[in-house]
Chains A and B, each alone.
Chain A
Amino acid sequence: MTGVLPVTLEEARKIVQALLLSGKEYVCVMKLHGDVSENRVKAVLKEFEDVIYQRPPLRASVKRQLRTRRIYYIDFLEMEGRNVLFKVGCEGGTYIRKLCYDIGEVLGCGAHMQELRRTRAGPFIEGEGNVKLHDVAYWFMQWQEEGDDAILKKFIQPMEKALALVPKIYIRDSAVDAVCHGANLTAPGVLSLETGIGAGAMVAIFTLKGEAVALAEAQASTEEILSMEHGVVAKVKRVLMPRGTYPKCWKSGEI
Chain B
Amino acid sequence: MPRSVAPWEIERKLLVKAEDETNPKYGCKPEERPAKAYIRFGVINLDKPAGPTSHEVAAWVKRILGIENVGHGGTLEAL
Residues of A within 8 A of B (CB): 1-13, 15-16, 19-20, 22-25, 46, 49-50, 61, 70, 72-73, 89, 92, 97, 116, 118, 120-126, 128-133, 136-137, 140, 143, 149, 152-153, 155-162, 165, 167, 170, 172-173, 176, 190-196, 207-212, 222, 225-226, 241, 245-247
Contacts and interface: CB of A to CB of B under 8 A. Distances in A.
5 contacts: A5-B46, A9-B70, A152-B39, A170-B14, A247-B26
Contact of B47 (A4, A89, A143): A4
Nearest to B7: A23
Interface residues of B, number: 62
A3 B50 CA distance: 9
Contacts of A191: 16-20
Contact of A16 (B6, B8, B23, B71): B71
B61 to A, nearest CB: 5
A209 B28 contact: yes
Interface of B: 1, 3-10, 12-23, 26-31, 33, 35, 38-50, 54, 57-58, 60-61, 64-65, 67-79
B64 A136 contact: yes
A157 B42 CA distance: 5
Contacts of A167: 12
**Closest 6 CB pairs between A and B?**
A19-B73, A158-B30, A208-B22, A13-B71, A156-B42, A72-B6
A132 B73 contact: no
A7 B6 contact: no
B6 A23 contact: yes
Nearest to A57: B77
Contacts of A158: 30-31, 33, 38, 41-43
Contact of B8 (A120, A190, A207, A225): A120
A68 B46 CA distance: 28
A156 B42 CA distance: 6
B68 A10 contact: yes
B55 to A, nearest CB: 10
